Amino acid sequence: MIQIGRATLHRGEALSLIRTMPDESVDAIVTDPPYSSGGLHTGQRQRPPGVKYQNSDARRRHAEFHGDNRDQRSFTLWASLWIAECYRVAKAGASCMVFTDWRQLPAMTDAMQIGGWTWRGIVVWDKPSARPILGEFRRQCEYVVFGVKGRLMPAHRRCLPGVYRHSIIAHQKRRHMTEKPMPLIHDLLEVTPPGCTVLDPFMGSATTGAACLKTNRNFIGIELSPEYFQSACERLELVANPSTENS
């Protein structure tokens, strides 16, 4: 375990580590698990993430990651297990926000409800630069499945939009091959109270963690890959102690 400012980081497997956390100890879950998407058939899904999610010219820039090759049934079962543990460690009134894509949206909404959460809706991430497809609709959106433990404790009296438009990060600038835009995470955190504790069991390069530290929230992050764990630590160190950037 590593402590960096308000962030507590664990290197290891999400489900087994969440199981060690106390009941009702976090205010929100914001996470971007492996989608196990990117193909209709087993052969396509079994391709490594670097082939599924990166342009050929961007390949080998980022480390591969595990857990992206489950079929629909095992993805739903696996997601139900960790999201149920997230439910246990969440306080009453906590919110849960989980990224997914169009293929896995039904599986993810099922898993969230199997895990005990009340499914309250979907936030749309509109990606204006999505690749056009001849004669078809662009796959221009990813989704954030939104659930609540019991009744949401409103953090304020504002009304938030349900669609956010943010460009994807250019491949050359990414720390992680599926890195989410920081402004999008800031938008999602709007539903959580200031000073709260946010858990991300699949933190990757810690975009959620960086957004939490920048907005004075506590962060608990878990990451399996040693390369991405290291990258997350370095990133959060710079956010927590900006003076070290040029030293």
Residue ranges binding ligand SAM (CB under 6 A): 13-14, 32-34, 65-67, 176, 178-180, 202, 204-205, 207, 222-225, 228
User: Is the CB of 129 or the CB of 246 nearer to ligand SAM?
Assistant: 129
Residue 130 vs 153, nearer CB to ligand SAM: 130
Cα–Cα distances (Å) from 47 to 102, 173, 224, in that order, read 19, 24, 19
Least distance from ligand SAM to the Cβ atom of residue 128, Å: 19
Q: Which is nearer to ligand SAM, 117 or 229 (CB)?
A: 229
Distances (CA, A) of 65 to 52, 68, 119, 152, 211: 12, 8, 28, 33, 22
Distance (Å, whole) CA 40 – CA 231: 32
* Nearer CB in complex with ligand SAM: 107/222: 222
Smallest gap from Cβ 219 to ligand SAM, in A, equals 13
Fill in the amino acid letter for 217.
R
Least CB distance to ligand SAM at residue 7 (A): 14
Q: Output 72 or 118, the one with its CB closest to ligand SAM.
A: 72
Residue nearest to ligand SAM (CB): 204
Least distance (Å) from ligand SAM to the CB of residue 82?
A: 8
Q: Which residues contact 52 (CB under 8 A, 6 or more apart)?
A: 37, 38, 39, 44, 68
- Cβ 151 to ligand SAM shortest distance, Å: 28
CB 83 within 8 A of CB 76: no
**Phi, psi torsion values for 184, nearest 5 degrees:** -65, -40
